[in-house]
Amino acid sequence: MGDGTGKAPDQRGLFASAKGLLGTGVTLIHNRLELLGVELAEERVRVTSMLAYGGAAFLCIAAGLVFLAIFLTVLLWESNRLLALGIFSALFLGAGIASLMLAMRLGRPGSKLFSASLAELRKDRDALSAGSTAKPQ
């Protein structure tokens, strides 16, 4: 009571302890949200990649197989039909490879899921930890 603040030393210690506990809680929530964000981003990339690759592969392989069957059927004909079928087969298979490469490039950037929330929690944690390390006067 002689410290000039009008508060008992126990109250100040209790306030600092509560503030430290709150800072620990914010840090724990922050870590959990970071982990959740990372896991959700990984799962999103995996599912999106699977769908894109599967869809592109299905369409292009199906078209390629149809044209290959027609190509083999017409193999013995004597006109330029063979050249046309070969070109169409190459175009569809090339489109499938291009789609696959585009899908892979689109899946590479990281997710910004929960980035604003994590930034705010970082600010809270830093503010609380700065307040708890200040020396009482």
**Does residue 134 belong to any structural domain of this protein?**
no
Q: Which residue has the tokens 């799962």?
A: 43
> Is position 84 within any domain?
yes
Is there a domain that residue 114 lies in? yes
pLDDT at 83: 75
Which tokens hold the place of 28?
Answer: 């724990």
**Tell me: the pLDDT tens digits for 69-87?**
677 667 767 777 777 777 7
Task: Say if 91 falls within a structural domain.
Answer: yes
At 53, is the secondary structure helix, strand, or coil? helix
Helix pair angle (9-74, 115-133), 10° resolution: 160
- Domain, as residue range, for 29: 13-128
DSSP letter for each residue of 75-113: TT-SSTHHHHHHHHHHHHHHHHHHHHHHHHHHH-SPP-T
- Per the CB < 8 A criterion, the answer to whether 99 and 56 are in contact is yes
Kindly state whether residue 85 falls inside one of the protein's structural domains.
yes
Quote the number of domains for the chain: 1
User: What are φ and ψ of residue 20, in 5° steps?
Assistant: -65, -40
In one letter, which amino acid is 78? Answer: E
Answer whether residue 69 is part of any domain. Answer: yes
| Residue 83, in any domain of the structure | yes
CB distance 128 to 30 below 8 Å:
no
Q: How confident is the model at residue 120 (pLDDT cuts 50, 70, 90)?
A: low
5 assigned to some structural domain: no
With a cut of 70, say whether residue 8 has pLDDT above it.
Answer: no
Beta carbons within 10 angstroms of residue 88's beta carbon? 16
